[in-house]
Amino acid sequence: MKVNTYLNFPGNCQQALDFYAQHLGAKILMKSTFAEMQLQGAPQNLPPGLNREGILHARFTIGDTLVMASDGPPERVQPMRSAYLSLSVDSNEEAERIYNALSDGGEVFMSMGEQFFAHRFGQFRDKFGINWMVIHEKTMGSR
């Protein structure tokens, strides 16, 4: 069994994919649009608020992790509330770079800084409504 993350966007999935590719090195494995679905004989009626160039389904990786995404009707897609994508990095510089890039235009919940458990840790919602944690962990003793 596997658990994968599936992200919904209110019509800006392509922009989010491009943003994550630029700032996180995300690799887009596949994507299809609603227009491509219609070319294959699927029904022509799209939910209100979606356009033919919207993303029906995408698969991409961030590091070794598979993430899937699509556009959904804007009135139904809400920003994430109680779940976060957590990025573990190997340096303070990488933590700061990612935090600064992804939090720009978003909402900061915890500013990037040192914590008892991390050299750097920060929490925020990006401009696409996705919650993130960025951490450069400290080595902690085992119990």
What would the pLDDT profile of 80-133 be if each residue is shown by its tens digit? 889 999 999 999 999 999 999 999 999 999 999 999 999 999 999 999 999 999
Q: What are phi and psi of 20, to 5 degrees?
A: -70, -35
Tell me whether the CATH fold assigned to 1-76 matches the one assigned to 79-143: yes
Assigned fold of 1-76: 3.30.720
Alpha-helix residue ranges (DSSP H) falling in 1-143? 13-24, 34-39, 92-103
120 with 95: CB under 8 angstroms?
yes
141 — pLDDT class (breaks 50, 70, 90): low
Which amino acid is residue 24, in one-letter code? L
Given a contact cutoff of 8 angstroms between Cβ atoms, the answer to whether 27 and 60 are in contact is: yes
Residue ranges of the domains in the chain? 1-76, 79-143
Which one of 2.130.10.10, 3.90.1640.10, 3.30.720.110, 1.10.3720.10 gives the CATH number of domain 79-143?
3.30.720.110
- For 34-78, write each residue's pLDDT tens digit: 888 765 655 566 777 788 889 999 999 999 999 999 999 888 899
